[in-house]
């Protein structure tokens, strides 16, 4: 029988070899990659194949950049199980998983995907990402498995990706650490179990496959002596199976969870105020630890034995902290003053120190060549801070170049501060900064290029609007919301965008939204939650009333702008237009009028009205009216807003929103000072002294 199986496998592999005789970027279940053959990405940048490290005869399957003369391996599959000969074969097995076989029978590595594919395809993308996807799935961006989830799988040869994807946050992969697992981007081991939990499969956990998650050390029973352990500095778990209630403080929230044996955990859904309660009734998934001092507190139900252990650990930790903190503080203060005096004595400053920016620096001639000397034909848009051009680098990578105008008001140090700020923002719904250039009077920012332009190109045009059905529009709403949540609560600094609008939301090849243009963004440190400026800069129609009149801005200012944006996405209309000439109403006023008359469905864009989820659209309109309330405290936070969009619980009733925008929209006669796209209908204000 063994001989028959061996002959069958041999015939199968021989048949595959006949089909797979030329360099390709993907294989199916009838093909394979043997030792000596390889996959090459379509653009020729990356190659996957078997190799041996220096001074070793062991064979590994890896990915390397073909454009670097000295082979630099960026990812290895069988890093823990090398093959001792050249019998290695990469193929897709009967379950739809990619596997490496040794001697045609021994499995040394597998993707271990739990999802079954109808037509599994293993493909090497131009980014250097090896993905397993279903050929029957119309969404090319949906992967069953991808190597970018396992960037720590190297041989110590190169733990840094050669492609731009090096800066991506691995914790952005939904559910990477499974139930009760916590993801930390800067930790060598990305996933760890919550205290009181252990990996379900220690063997796969050690191999870097975390999605099975964790289980309790001790089974939880419904008993009166159960309690809660507090975990701090977290991004809260996915709320898909959660429950949220406005106006409930933490004492009431704990009592609510304690009284229900099915309640697993509770937290305040508002990071700034204890005025909203979130409860979880199933496994806690997609938890992330934040290292910037931000994040929220999560209380997880635990048996009494775990509570005693946790209290003992707290006592020990407190003793260690008391013993060490004075020594550490003394050393840090000494080091700070020594370094400070050294810099003063040497006359060091940050000016001209490009290496401090930790981003690729591009020569002006390189960017000029990429944009055809900033040709008018490559111009994407123009605003008050400069002009944006499309370009292509020597390796074929497309870029967007923002060329700041000389009268933008930014000096070299201010420009560097902005670059440092943007470089630290890493999220899938924010446009990625690839590099910069400071040379003479020129200041350039180099971004990833978005092929599908900006959101306003679609939603304000009947023909283009048909390309965005409701499902795509709702995904765009959620994506922008997650991007703002990251800026407000999850990034290293609390950031207020101050100019969120349709033209500043760019769309990638899969129509995923990316928030762009941080030229007017402001950062808050520590416990600061709002600021005041006498130089109000923004776009009329999107600015919150307290910002437009008094120069006061906060995270709730961005919430107001997001509400306007969401209303425009739903309606396909611009907020500054007049939609009831007899009442002189702008879009917000028109939406409120229809809401009062229970005719909100009349607001829905005709492009998708007949094919949308009506209850979902009406819920978005409801949330929009909560976002554009007159007082900032009446508006929800972004974390609460996301819960509102994804939950079926009752929403609070909105008050009459601010109609300030409609009164001012006709008064502005100045052209746009802040614009990243070619839209000619946008106009902004730059000076409006607070009264």
All domains of the chain in start order, with CATH: 2-164 (2.90.10.10), 181-302 (3.50.4.10), 354-448 (3.30.200.20), 456-685 (1.10.510.10)
Query: Tokens at residue 479, please?
Result: 């994506």
φ, ψ for residue 642, nearest 5 deg: -65, -40
Portion of the chain with pLDDT greater than 90, in percent:
35
Smallest Cα–Cα separation from 502: which of 524, 476, 484? Answer: 476
To the nearest whole number, what is the mean pLDDT of the chain?
79
Q: Which residues contact residue 523 at a Cβ distance below 8 angstroms, ignoring those fewer than 6 apart?
A: 421, 493, 494, 495, 496
If you average pLDDT over each of 103-117, 245-259, 588-602, which comes out highest?
588-602
Q: Is pTM, for the whole model, over 0.85?
A: no
**According to the model, what pLDDT value does residue 343 have?**
52
**According to the model, what pLDDT value does residue 203 have?**
86
Residue 230 burial (CB < 10 Å; 0-12/13-18/19+)? exposed
Given a contact cutoff of 8 angstroms between Cβ atoms, the answer to whether 661 and 685 are in contact is no
On the question of pLDDT at 289 being above 60, the answer is yes
On the question of pLDDT at 16 being above 50, the answer is no
On the question of pLDDT at 616 being above 70, the answer is yes
Query: Which residues are designated catalytic?
Result: 499
**According to the model, what pLDDT value does residue 595 have?**
93
Of the pLDDT bands very low, low, confident and very high (cuts 50, 70, 90), residue 211 is confident
If you average pLDDT over each of 126-130, 349-353, 547-551, 574-578, which comes out highest?
126-130
Of the pLDDT bands very low, low, confident and very high (cuts 50, 70, 90), residue 575 is confident
123-141: average pLDDT: 85
On the question of pLDDT at 483 being above 70, the answer is yes
Portion of the chain with pLDDT greater than 70, in percent:
76
Of the pLDDT bands very low, low, confident and very high (cuts 50, 70, 90), residue 688 is very low
Of the pLDDT bands very low, low, confident and very high (cuts 50, 70, 90), residue 169 is low
Count of alpha carbons within 13 Å of 290, Cβ hemisphere only?
23
Smallest Cα–Cα separation from 607: which of 570, 659, 645? Answer: 570
If you average pLDDT over each of 26-35, 104-113, 185-194, 430-439, which comes out highest?
26-35
pLDDT tens by residue, 19-39: 444 568 999 999 999 999 999
**According to the model, what pLDDT value does residue 652 have?**
92
């Amino acid at each position: 029988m063994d001989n028959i199986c061996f002959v069958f496998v041999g015939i199968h592999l021989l048949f595959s070899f006949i089909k797979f005789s030329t360099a390709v970027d993907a294989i199916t279940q009838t093909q394979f990659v043997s030792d000596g053959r390889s996959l090459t990405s379509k653009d020729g940048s990356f190659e996957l194949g078997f190799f041996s490290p220096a001074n070793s005869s062991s064979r590994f399957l890896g990915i390397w950049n073909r454009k670097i003369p000295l082979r630099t391996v960026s990812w290895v599959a069988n890093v823990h199980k090398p093959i001792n000969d050249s019998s290695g074969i990469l193929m897709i097995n009967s379950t739809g998983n990619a596997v490496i076989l040794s001697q045609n029978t021994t499995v040394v590595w597998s993707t271990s995907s739990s999802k079954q594919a109808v037509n599994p395809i293993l493909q090497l993308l131009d980014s250097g990402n090896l993905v397993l996807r279903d050929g029957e799935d119309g969404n090319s961006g949906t992967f069953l498995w991808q190597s970018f989830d396992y960037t720590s799988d190297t041989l110590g040869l190169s733990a840094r990706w050669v492609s731009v994807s090096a800066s991506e946050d691995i914790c952005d992969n939904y559910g990477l650490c499974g139930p009760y697992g916590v993801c930390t981007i800067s930790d060598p081991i990305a996933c760890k179990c919550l205290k009181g939990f252990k990996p379900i499969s220690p063997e796969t956990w050690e191999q870097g496959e975390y999605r099975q998650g964790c289980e309790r050390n001790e089974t939880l029973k419904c008993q009166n002596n159960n309690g809660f352990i507090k975990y701090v500095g977290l991004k809260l778990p996915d709320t898909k199976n959660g429950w949220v209630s406005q106006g409930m403080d933490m004492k009431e929230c704990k009592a609510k969870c304690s009284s229900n044996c099915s309640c697993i955990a509770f937290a305040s859904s508002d990071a700034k105020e204890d005025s909203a309660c979130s409860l979880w009734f199933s496994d806690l998934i997609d938890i992330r630890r934040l290292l910037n001092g931000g994040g929220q507190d999560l209380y997880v139900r635990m048996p009494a034995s775990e509570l005693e252990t946790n209290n003992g650990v707290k006592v020990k930790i407190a003793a260690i902290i008391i013993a060490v903190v004075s020594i550490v503080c003394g050393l840090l203060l000494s080091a700070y003053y020594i370094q400070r005096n050294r810099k003063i004595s040497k006359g060091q400053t940050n000016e001209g120190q490009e290496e401090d920016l930790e981003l690729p620096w591009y020569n002006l001639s390189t960017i000029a060549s990429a944009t055809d000397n900033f040709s008018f034909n490559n111009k994407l848009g123009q605003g008050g801070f400069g002009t944006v051009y499309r370009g292509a680098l020597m390796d074929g990578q497309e870029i967007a170049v923002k060329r700041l105008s000389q009268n933008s008001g930014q000096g070299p140090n201010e420009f560097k501060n902005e670059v440092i700020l943007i470089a630290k923002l890493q999220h899938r719904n924010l446009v990625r900064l690839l590099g910069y250039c400071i040379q003479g009077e020129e200041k350039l920012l180099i971004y990833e290029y978005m092929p599908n332009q900006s959101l306003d190109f679609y939603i304000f045009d009947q023909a283009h609007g048909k390309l965005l059905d409701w499902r795509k529009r709702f995904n765009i709403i959620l994506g922008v919301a997650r991007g703002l949540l990251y800026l407000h609560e999850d990034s290293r600094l609390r950031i207020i965008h101050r100019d969120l609008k349709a033209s500043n939301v760019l769309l990638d090849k899969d129509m995923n939204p990316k928030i762009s243009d941080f030229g007017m963004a402001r950062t808050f440190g520590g416990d600061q939650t709002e600021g005041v400026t006498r130089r109000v800069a923004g776009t009329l129609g999107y600015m919150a009333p307290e910002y437009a009149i008094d120069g006061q801005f906060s995270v709730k200012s961005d919430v107001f702008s997001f509400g306007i944006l969401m209303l425009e996405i739903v309606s396909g209309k611009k907020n500054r237009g007049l939609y009831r000439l007899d009442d002189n109403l702008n879009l917000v006023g028109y939406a409120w009028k229809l809401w009062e008359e229970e005719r909100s469905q009349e607001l829905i864009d005709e492009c998708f009205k007949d094919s949308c989820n009506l209850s979902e659209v009406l819920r978005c309109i409801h949330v929009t009216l909560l976002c554009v309330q007159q007082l900032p405290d009446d508006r929800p936070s972004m974390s609460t807003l996301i819960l509102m969009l994804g939950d079926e619980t009752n929403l609070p009733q909105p008050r009459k929103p601010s109609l300030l925008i409609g009164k001012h929209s006709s008064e502005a006669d100045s052209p746009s000072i802040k614009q990243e796209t070619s839209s000619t209908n946008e106009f902004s204000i730059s000076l409006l002294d607070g009264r």
